[in-house]
Structure 1
Amino acid sequence: PYKCQECGKSFTVSSNLSRHQRAHAAGSATDPAPAAPRARGLPYECQECGKSFRRNKELATHQRLHTGRPPFQCGHCGKGFSWSSHWERHQRVHTGEKPYQCPECGKSFSRSSHLYRH
């Protein structure tokens, strides 16, 4: 666990602690940090990690990451996913589907990012 030295709040992920500490810094008169999330039009804040969102629905979707119970589960191997798009992408591991083909050499890839890297 990562603990904030200023307020004592604990986080399981170091980047969440960093984001939280930036929020403390934004309140400091000596630090010209960016405006607080609410001032930038992000009124919905996750109480678990401090990340802010423009819409309540986005916050609700994000909060699934903290529950430990991903809503999308693979029927083949049981792996869980917080996002349907990640579940869909994972299915290619089992099907062998490679929908992204290089126009130069014909090699196929399961992810567009792999084709781009190629």
Structure 2
Amino acid sequence: MNSEAVVRSLAALAQPVRLQVFRCLVVAGPGGLTPGALVEAIGVPATGLSFHLKELTHAGLVSQERQGRNLIYRAAFDQMSALLGYLTDNCCEGEPCLPSSTAVCAC
């Protein structure tokens, strides 16, 4: 992952609603969610959600697929892993990093 893609991804996640949308899509897993399900889950108006999904898609963090009449949005786990890898490449001075605790993620 190049630094331009990293900056684009971090900028997309540096907004509370977009971060919340992305976290919900990560929790939803490979099945993804429709915009309607996201609206219900996070309580953001559909018009605002559309803007945030567009930004996350542009950053490569979210993919969109049409299934019949529905749009399904999914977290781009490969992009997320690449971003995390980029951020941790030089952490801990080359020593293995151990998490201090396991966090629970909820929408």
Question: Normalized per residue, which structure has more helix?
Answer: 2
- The TM-score normalised by the length of structure 2 is 0.29
Which structure has the larger Rg? 1
- The TM-score normalised by the length of structure 1 is 0.27
